[in-house]
Amino acid sequence: MVINFARGLIAASLTGALAATAPPATADPTPDPLQSVPLRQAIDELPVAPEDRTGYQRSRFRHWTDEDGDSCSTRAEVLIAEAVHAPQVGPGCALTGGRWLSYYDDVHVDSARKLDVDHMVPLAEAWDSGASQWTAERREQYANDLDFERSLVAVTARSNRSKADRDPAQWWVPSPQASCTYLADWVATKTRWRLSVDQAELAALNERAATCPDVVLTVPIAN
């Protein structure tokens, strides 16, 4: 699977393109297939609901699959796509060499082993925000979303583990220049998958959005 990610340069004005998968059972059955909306409008349109982690287990999201059967798991596909300098891909999709920019903390990394592939909206947060009502197949699609560059991101293990399963009310990227990118990525991912936000999260998103006035998200959503 060939993916073209463009995270290398973090700009003040961003455009997010969201491809979509089938909506959850609770979604509008006939959504507008294409919307281009300012970031603030996208935030306003997120459903607001309390979070509920009852029944969550990470194993409920089957992840790092090899959908196209090329021996490269979802994790490896992201690493290959996001490399600043491409790694060599050996038998069994073993990666050697390469160079990456972890945009969370603005750190260059020269070994794939030092990177984590982060779910932009963590699996536990997704569960809290509506994924608990999804089918196992939809949760697998979410956990391996290679069709949208904002869903998964290669970052330093330190920054990913610092973030853990926390939402923007609890954690923010340490690199100041990454703030608008992270905000756009978070809102776009929640919009793509029609996940809700709680009140504290919503307040944090709106506060951050004040510093990113020019961000526009283009969101094609399919049934």
Name beta bridge partners: 15. Answer: 216
Average confidence (pLDDT) over 11-18: 37
> What own/partner pairs with CB < 8 Å and gap ≥ 24 does 70-78 have?
70/1, 72/1, 74/117, 74/143, 74/144, 74/146, 74/152, 75/117, 77/1, 77/3, 77/146, 78/3, 78/5, 78/117, 78/146, 78/152, 78/153, 78/154
Q: Cα-flanking dihedrals φ and ψ of residue 143, to 5°? A: -70, -15
Do β-strands 107-109 and 115-119 pair in parallel, antiparallel, or remain unpaired? unpaired
Amino acid at 142: Y
For residue 36, what pLDDT is reported? 79
Q: Cα-flanking dihedrals φ and ψ of residue 153, to 5°? A: -145, 135
Which of the pair, 3 or 195, is modelled with greater confidence?
195
**What is the average pLDDT value for the chain, to the nearest integer?**
86
Per-residue pLDDT tens for 94-104?
A: 999 999 999 99
The pTM of the full predicted model, rounded to 2 decimals, is: 0.85
Per-residue pLDDT tens for 104-120?
A: 999 999 999 999 999 99
